[in-house]
Structure 1
Amino acid sequence: MGIRYIKGDATSPQAAGVKIVAHVCNDLGGWGKGFVLAVSRRWKEPEARYRAWHRARAKNGFELGAVQYVQVERYVWVANMVAQRGIRPSRNGPPIRYDALDRALESLGAKALELSASVHMPRIGCGLAGGRWDRVEPLIERRLTERGVAVTVYD
């Protein structure tokens, strides 16, 4: 089972059953550009929970590679995956951190299997985070599709 690519909006996941909408967040507590705006237009809880998670970060596991799961509808969850260091490119390259994304996707795979859920996402890490799809796609395949999780990527 490979990744399914379709045209559409990942905040309107096209599948039956339980669905997880996954996206990449930064480690600064910032939520204001990119795909998160579409998430916030559809549901208020993911942004509010992410900001509260970041505010209390000294004692709650908020760090690169961590994932926060927010149930937004009976059969829909949002996965806030912290896989972006800051918001601007630095001398170390773009904000995406592939090692953190890999850890987040490993957690996402386990959660999807636990919920018997499919996963829906834009091309995560490749917009404002500055990542390259040829590095992200193999992580998704290893952590999700090879474990039997159905994944749809929305363009």
Structure 2
Amino acid sequence: MTGITYVQGDATAPQGKGVKIVAHVCNDIGGWGKGFVAAVSRRWRKPEAAYRRWHRERSRNDFGLGAVQLVQVEQYVWVANLVGQRGIRTGRSTGVPVRYEAIDAALGLLADRAAELGASVHMPRIGCGLAGGSWERIEPLVTRRLVARGIPVSVYDFGA
């Protein structure tokens, strides 16, 4: 038992009552446009604009691997941009962009913010799409950083 609730559905339409944070993994080069972020942008414009500004102004802020940016998109819904991948995959890539240590650090920061807001956290299987990560390695991080602190977590599997 991990303490994570697995849901069939769309993480951009988080289920339940109260304050909700939709968490996802971003890269550290300012790229936004493929994978789960496309669904985020179809639903809300603010997270992409905030992420691009955060990256553009990185010399004056905390942007980098392991950082978290929360963007309020509805009265009770926030989006958490977690910087957990180094670059992006290209045709010449030899490794995967996921950085587990960065996701771990970002989840720790996310837990603090979720606790402050009294929020539940909703996410796809972060770091496992274009970032190339393994859910078997990420699930224990989610459990240790969020579930162990009493933060309700729902992981959404999209599709049939």
TM-score of the alignment, normalized to the shorter chain, above 0.5: yes
1:3-152 equivalence runs, <5 A: 3-88=4-89, 90-91=93-94, 93-152=95-154
Q: Which 4+ stretches in 1 moved above 6 angstroms?
A: none
Root-mean-square deviation (CA, aligned residues, Å) is 1.0
Q: Deviations over 1:3-34 (max 9, x none)?
A: 00010000000010000000000001000100
3-state DSSP class of the match of 2:154? strand
The one-letter code sitting in structure 2 at the alignment partner of 1:127 is: G
- Unaligned ranges ≥5, structure 1: none
Q: C-alpha displacement at 1:59, in angstroms? A: 1.4
Q: Deviations over 1:78-128 (max 9, x none)?
A: 00000000001744x310000000000000111111100000000000000
- Unaligned ranges ≥5, structure 2: none
Q: C-alpha displacement at 1:149, in angstroms? A: 0.3
3-state DSSP class of the match of 2:71? strand
**When the two structures are superposed, what TM-score results if normalisation uses the length of structure 1?**
0.97
Q: Deviations over 1:133-152 (max 9, x none)?
A: 00000000000001000000
- Identical amino acids, percent of aligned pairs: 70
How many residues align? The count is 154
For 1:115 and 1:62, locate their aligned partners in 2 and report how far apart those are by CA, in whole Å: 22
The one-letter code sitting in structure 2 at the alignment partner of 1:150 is: P
3-state DSSP class of the match of 2:89? coil
**When the two structures are superposed, what TM-score results if normalisation uses the length of structure 2?**
0.94
For 1:50 and 1:96, locate their aligned partners in 2 and report how far apart those are by CA, in whole Å: 18
For 1:149 and 1:88, locate their aligned partners in 2 and report how far apart those are by CA, in whole Å: 32
